Structure 1
Amino acid sequence: MKTKKVSANVVALVVALFFAFPTYWMVATALKPRKDLLSSGYDLVPFSVTGSNFATAWAKPGFLTALGNSLLVSLGAVLAAIVVGLLAALALSRMRFKGRKGFVMMMLVAQMAPFEALLIPMFLMMRDLDLLDRLPALALIYFAVTLPFCAWTLRGFVNGIPLELEEAAMVDGCGRWGAFRRVTLPLLGPGLVATSVFAFVTAWNEFLFALSLINDQAKQTLPVWLSGFQSAFGTDWGGAMAASALFTLPVLVFFLIVQRKMVTGVTAGAVKG
């Protein structure tokens, strides 16, 4: 039994190191001086450290503007997807209507559709509606992309809350909305946090739609802004890695803040689907 536990811990450690190594390499490259970036060896630990790459990334034109655009689009899309997804999850979990199973299957199919397959139809639709180069249009697309995931995931959390709790609250004098607000909604807190984190990461990292639908540099998001470190004269790898580290910082800070509730929500959502 002890040998199995040690083996499982070793495997888990190897997997964790495998997935953590790209992040470590990104930060280590961002801290290297320019003369050490294109060396032929693999320096896992930089012997000389500099902050000039981060200064270059911070001073690059458009960083704060792209940061604000990404926050505006991602937060707006995720907030709308969480609200609509929660209402859809309540209807799918608590109500019995004709076509409910088919609708749930359609949500699952929508989650499986790759972004690349939706690019051309979305572009043509936005062009016909004269919504190109508009941040609300990009937020609308992110909302449509993250909504099936939010509704599907929150449905699992709602299924995990016994209906008898709401019925007991209604017996005590609460209406249906009052029972949801006083009983169900507080219990859904961890699930809402976990779902919003995954949806936010999806919208925050999206590159293809932002590149295709937004041509105005003043409306670029951070993933598109990051591609500016590549030019006809080469790639500024130090600046690109430093900018990538800054790009991941908001998500990392948000994740650390809600980590405890997120873990609780993920494990709770796995009980019933």
Structure 2
Amino acid sequence: MSGLSATAPAVPRKAEGSRKPRKSKAGWNLLGLLVFLSTGFPVYWMLNTAIKPAKDAIDPDPSLLPTGFTLDNFRRALNIADFWGPVGRSLVVSLTVVVIGIVVGMLAALAISRFAFRGRKVVIVGILAVQMVPLVAMIIPVFLLLNDLGQYDRLTGLIITYLTFILPFTVWTLRGFIVNIPKELEEAAMVDGCSRTTAFIRVVFPLLAPGLVATSVYGFIQAWNEYLYALMLMSQKNQTATVWLGNFTTKHGTEYAPMMAGSTMMAVPIVVLFLLVQRKMAAGLTAGAVKG
């Protein structure tokens, strides 16, 4: 009897302890659902407006549910101005920025992380300081500089401009990954007969894959979605995809349904890229990007 009485109170305690994690998990699930709805609603509204008749897109009493289905908005978006030209230029600029940014950023991050040189801390502080400068404040200096170099209204000038914005983030993020990779791995490979370059390619580079994917996606999205500098530095003849969306706004008003159709088509490359690398990107954003 004494044994039964001693163990009896433990039963309700265990039940209470098992309920708390369930309530906590339900709360986090509810919070996640609210975040998903708040971030996903603009995408839903874009798709809903893109497939509904143009007259319903400007209805003062809009409906949350689709009121019809039509592809006329996509046809209008393709016919209002040259679509494939701006999209092709945006792809060229974005991919070039990603390739150059990854190569230069990886080498710079390796130098900062693995080698001790005079002014190393100044370089690290400078990388952080550059990211704090508002992009709007540099429009006039960048315009004057590119004009003096003969790079105004050229894709090469736009690529150089985007690299100055993306490289600091790339260097800082990849530095966090390289710092987390023990130097002993490279030293062991060099003891086995590898040169420093071979040790980096065979040991360090595979471990950097998540960070390279994360920074590549970030750089691609930044270059693809950038609007202000593309508008100021490129003429209408060489406009990019984001500037192309401005063709739907005229003195007679804004064609919202075709604009949403154009935005939907522009979002396809980003969505496809994210679906292809989502696992690597998630690992890259959490594995070592916050390492100091």
Mark yes or no: TM-score above 0.5.
yes
Which amino acid is 1:68 matched to? G
Distance 1:272 1:122 in 2: 32
Residues 111-144 of structure 1: CA deviation (Å, up to 9, x unaligned): 1212101111000111122221111100110111
Distance 1:218 1:11 in 2: 46
> TM-score, normalised to structure 1's length?
0.97
C-alpha displacement of 1:271: 6.1
Query: 1:260 corresponds to which residue?
Result: 279
**After alignment, is 263-272 or 222-231 more displaced?**
263-272
**How many residues matched?**
272
Query: 1:22 corresponds to which residue?
Result: 42
Which amino acid is 2:38 matched to? F
Which residues in structure 2 correspond to 1:37-186 (within 5 Å)? Answer: 37-186=57-206
Of the two, which has the highest radius of gyration? Answer: 2
Residues 131-173 of structure 1: CA deviation (Å, up to 9, x unaligned): 2111110011011111101101111111121111111100100
Which amino acid is 1:87 matched to? L
Unaligned runs of 5+ residues in structure 2 are 1-20
C-alpha displacement of 1:98: 2.3
- The one of 257, 260, 264 equivalent to 1:245 is 264
Which amino acid is 1:70 matched to? S
Distance 1:165 1:151 in 2: 22
Which amino acid is 1:126 matched to? L
Distance 1:172 1:252 in 2: 43
- Percent identical among aligned pairs is 50
**After alignment, is 96-105 or 83-92 more displaced?**
96-105
Distance 2:138 2:35 in 1: 33
Distance 1:57 1:163 in 2: 54
SS at match of 1:258: helix
Which amino acid is 2:243 matched to? V
Distance 2:137 2:201 in 1: 39
1:230 aligns with 2:287: no
SS at match of 2:33: helix
C-alpha displacement of 1:270: 4.1
Distance 2:290 2:227 in 1: 34
Residues 62-108 of structure 1: CA deviation (Å, up to 9, x unaligned): 11000110011111112111110000100111112222122111101
Query: 1:193 corresponds to which residue?
Result: 213
C-alpha displacement of 1:35: 1.8
RMSD (Å) for aligned C-alpha atoms: 1.1
Query: 2:291 corresponds to which residue?
Result: 272
